[in-house]
A = this chain, B = another copy of it.
Amino acid sequence: MRVDGRQPNETRTITIERNYIKHAEGSVLISVGDTKVICTATVEDKVPPFLRNSGTGWITAEYGMLPRATGTRNQRESSRGKVGGRTMEIQRLIGRALRAIVDLKALGEKTLWLDCDVIQADGGTRTASITGAFVALADALHKQVEKGSLSSLPITDFLAAVSVGMVGDQAVLDLNYHEDSAANVDMNIVMTGAGRFVELQGTGEEATFSMDELHKMLELGKIGSEKWIALQKEVLGEQITNLIAKNAMQNA
């Protein structure tokens, strides 16, 4: 039994509130247990220099945390005058993950900005960010289809991310902050609706892990991502879900 009463293969309660910020083309408030992240998607009609005149689009992400999202106050990165290594690592991960399920060629010379801002943190902020950002992105791109600036939805599959880890000898799914601090191994898994891996980042925290432990964690990752993708479908509704599902089938 885990500290909050969950089974090892159980995720925390997750909710996704769509259209959370009125100005953004897509936006959600995602809550995974006590972790809460605002994800917005912005469509910009230009691309970074390395893609100009390539006919190809780009997706980039930025991640932030309010100073008091955590138990003790964090200094703002704007006050420190630079973005820290952890933030960089996370925002690079989010961007990479979402680029894997968008047809950038079909997107054309547009940039999608995904902003994930943690307003309350309790473990798993990067996986919540990816899972929420997917919904914001789907909404923003669907809006482009509706207003005619894209001819079809260029999303090739669903995408969710979960954390798994080894706490003592036990593989567990969706660690909260308390578990994360105690874990020997921490792994983030990003998977598609088709059950393929997009990212796999496993880290021994002053520890190591075996092939056997890896398998136990991968299994939990599958359970978690399937569950969260099911929620994404429910939240996005039948129309958008069907469009993505059709694309995914054609890619299979």
Q: A residues near B, CB below 8 A?
A: 21-24, 27, 34, 38, 40, 42, 44, 62, 64, 66-71, 73, 76-89, 91-92, 96, 99-100, 104, 113, 115, 117, 119-121, 157, 187, 192, 194, 196-211, 214, 218
Dominant SS among interface residues on chain A: mixed
Contact assessment for B78 and A85 in the assembled complex, using a CB-CB cutoff below 8 Å: no
What 8 new A-B contacts, CB under 8 Å, besides A21-B120, A42-B68? A24-B68, A40-B68, A78-B78, A83-B85, A86-B92, A89-B89, A198-B203, A200-B200
Residues of B close to A78: CB separation below 8 A: 64, 76-78, 80, 82-83, 87
How many of these chains are in the complex?
Answer: 6
| Whole-angstrom CA separation of A73 from B64 in the bound complex | 15
Residues of B close to A85: CB separation below 8 A: 83, 88-89, 91-92
Contact of A23 among B22, B69, B202 (CB under 8 A): B69
Residues of B close to A205: CB separation below 8 A: 96
Residues of B close to A79: CB separation below 8 A: 62, 83
| Whole-angstrom CA separation of A250 from B121 in the bound complex | 39
Residues of B close to A23: CB separation below 8 A: 68-71, 120-121
* A116–chain B nearest beta-carbon distance, Å: 10
